[in-house]
Structure 1
């Protein structure tokens, strides 16, 4: 321990006037990836060093933003890379930090708190605070461990106490004879209630002698943990929960940790899985030891692979993770238990608009239904195709398409639009697609659900499901084939609008529905339905757009439904596009909307011409026949399948579309 006497120089506290001031902004640490190649090179360097006196070949892995004197990979998490050659051992030590050890190569044994833990690759075990421990490599291979501890936090508090060369086999003694056993020191009143709020008064002797809870080292064998993870994976697509287990130390109680500071989870991530974006004030560090994928952190993309270590979730940064074509196994260390105990944990599954891309409704994602502000309802909202595989809906690919739209600049997604072939889907399939889209988008952009049908009953069922599922707005097509009168359209839309508080838009597409709507009808519906806010207009009729905007004002949301009219209709006053070509080039389509929105008509006109052939190609055959073929060629969908009476593109059409893709630079 430190000497009992210390020499302090003169010191004087000061007053810092904060009148009218707010606390400083946080300094957010950037995500960092320490690659497998970097780790391997450092292991090789450490292994080549002469054996140190204490046997500890180790390097700290330090973030560039780490504070002087408390080097960590996250503000409260130190990660050290520790290497032992065959036959080597470390000098016994103890410190008042807690640790999580993770063996990434080789094996060996650890003597800690009087017990021996024999470990192999990918095993995890914890060290309680201030217990003696030493590591041994009793194998023929090099031993490499990642060791996570709360040392930086203790160093920042200037209370980190390490001791070296301690007796390994002497168990840590816990004082059990309390000073309060002295009758002269024991308060005769004990602990007792004060006031009516449930507070208590506690005497000093009880204060300084809290209940002793034994904390033991726990060993989590990868062989056993993996067997349990494989059981989760065997549940298949019917199980939609996360495939992970937290390695729980019961001494942490409700804070759910492996130590009082950290939780440790092992995850199996199936191929092509995209997590829900979220954020939390606790920091997370991932080590990936199988597979590959990417992470989106605060709008930035980071690629990772097996053997990489990543600060994947800096505090309060929106993030999510996705796997590529292989299964991913990962260890996550996160300082959530500490935040739970401090009551500082904030966790947000559906983050607010300030941290996410523009053009979305922040209030709905907080569970608030509100109609006063629909400024978020604009931009390029792509009607996503429905991928099939062996004539069944491929929901996994659909989720990836939603994510691809968002990552590549789309402002929103439309589920079950015309491009999705909704007439060839069952009601259950359409409802499931809404669920998948809401889950995959996870609040990053608005999700609009097309809930119209020929049948009023089906429209009601689809609308009510989308409402409960969390769709941001509904798009309802005019009932097709039956050619209702205008007064029937008024009653129809008034009835549907009354069944939801979400914004409602009319889908006006006379070419497919065989019924048109006039301005007087729209006015009559608006008088009955205050949540009717706009129209997707898929008609070559610019005058009707002008009449609507003149009658209802600029808050009336007009979305362009014909690709070739995108720029002209936006210039007149449309607020966005719902174009099938967004499935192919979401960034360019979004750029066109944004250029018009900022008044850069030269740039918008250039994009109009750049997209023109692609826009025309959508209608070389019945939509979405050309779109699906081109998406297959681009590798966006695994199969170019339709349901009857729709058919795939002919050989001649395929050749023509290949030329379009090539000229557009999409191949």
Structure 2
């Protein structure tokens, strides 16, 4: 899966002032990512506010992105949830051209056991026509895909090819790198962890802050891949504060505010239960943008 090596971005879903999807802004955002050197795009991951889009909206966003990209970059579709039967149905029916893989978040809220997580992904993999990236983000899901479970899935299911790791556990990252096969990929799911994870052997990142600063993120990943960690540290440091501000009042509220200020998207609107960032956070973001 060479398409998954390097810098990927979890695209936001821009909205008009009436709450509908803003496809003009989405097209602008896609073109910005391509122009600034991103390696691949993740469409409707959690950053895309997928939980608040209905089935028809999701289909339209996937189709629009595929048509607009027109083969210029690899695409990954986000399909995950806590209803295994529904996720199996969705991955089985997914047939939109232009996509090379599916990113599937671990079941949230239910708090399944490791065996439950294993069986969920096994059923998903059996239905999927595309390779699957596991997505482990315990801070959002309430459960953790342990390294042994990830490795077990990779061995049992040939189309499970990677894991996007956002557990913040370097012990866990190290276990995965120690026990995985050469062709199973570890991908950073947390922007500030990208540099140290790549030093351990991760192949890149699926980034949030890359929406707003794709060139910096793409360059950081390239420098790490080439072993140029002195250059990478500077970029890593430049992005630390702005990344923190992107998440301080919920994702993607902060990064949408940056994108609106950059003129990439028309509004920073989000769908409830999220709300736009406060005036205090706006001021902090603007100050950090000036520094960058």
**Which whole-Å CA distance do the structure 2 matches of 1:397 and 1:427 have between them?**
21
**Structure 1 residue 458 displacement after superposition:** 3.2
Note closer, same or farther for the CA distance 1:638–1:465 as it changes in structure 2 (3 Å cut): farther
1:53-64 correspondence to structure 2 within 5 Å: none
Matched residue SS, 1:472:
strand
Q: Are 1:536 and 2:164 matched, yes or no?
A: yes
For residue 99 of structure 2, give the secondary structure of its aligned residue in structure 1: coil
Matched, 1:385 2:12: yes
Would the aligned equivalents of 2:125 and 2:159 in 1 still touch at CA under 8 Å?
Answer: yes
Task: Output aligned runs, 1:199-598, within 5 Å.
Answer: 374-389=1-16, 390-598=18-226
Deviations 1:577-608 (A, max 9, x none): 11110011101100011111111111111211
Deviation at 1:446, TM superposition (A): 0.9
CA displacement at 1:465 relative to structure 2: 4.4
Asked if residue 600 in structure 1 is aligned to residue 228 in structure 2, the reply is: yes
Q: Secondary structure at the match of 2:247?
A: coil
Q: 2:166–2:189: 8 Å Cα contact kept in structure 1? A: yes
In 2, Cα distance between the equivalents of 1:471 and 1:553?
24
Question: Residue 508 of structure 1 contacts residue 539 of structure 1 at CA under 8 Å; is this kept in 2?
Answer: yes
Runs of 4 or more off by more than 3 Å in structure 1? 464-470
For CA contacts below 8 A with separation 6 or more, give which structure has more relative contact order: 2
State the distance in 2 between where 1:511 and 1:543 align. Answer: 17
Query: 2: distance between equivalents of 1:466 and 1:398?
Result: 21
Which of the pair has more CA radius of gyration? 1
Alpha-carbon offset, residue 611 of structure 1: 1.7
- When the two structures are superposed, what TM-score results if normalisation uses the length of structure 1? 0.43
Are 1:549 and 1:556, in contact at CA under 8 Å, matched by a contact in 2?
no
The alignment status of 1:613 with 2:241, answered yes or no, reads: yes
| Deviations, residues 193-234 of structure 1 (Å, cap 9, x unaligned) | xxxxxxxxxxxxxxxxxxxxxxxxxxxxxxxxxxxxxxxxxx
Matched-pair contact (CA < 8 Å) for 1:632–1:640:
yes
Q: Structure 1 CA distance, aligned partners of 2:4 and 2:269? A: 32
2:164·2:186 contact (CA, 8 Å) conserved in 1?
Answer: yes
> 1:60-209 to 2 correspondence within 5 Å?
none
Gaps in structure 1 of 5+ consecutive residues = 1-373
Contact 1:566 1:577 in 2 (8 A): yes
Matched-pair contact (CA < 8 Å) for 1:595–1:604: yes
CA contact under 8 A between 2:208 and 2:255: conserved in structure 1? yes
Where structure 2 has 5 or more consecutive residues not aligned to the other structure, the ranges are none
Q: CA deviation at 1:498?
A: 1.2
1:625 is aligned to 2:248: no
Shift of 1:467: 3.9
Q: Structure 2-normalised TM-score?
A: 0.95
How far apart are the structure 2 equivalents of 1:641 and 1:483? 31
| Alpha-carbon RMSD | 1.5
* 3-state SS of paired residue (1:534): strand
For this pair of structures, how many residues does the alignment match? 291
How far apart are residue 429 of structure 1 and its match? 1.4
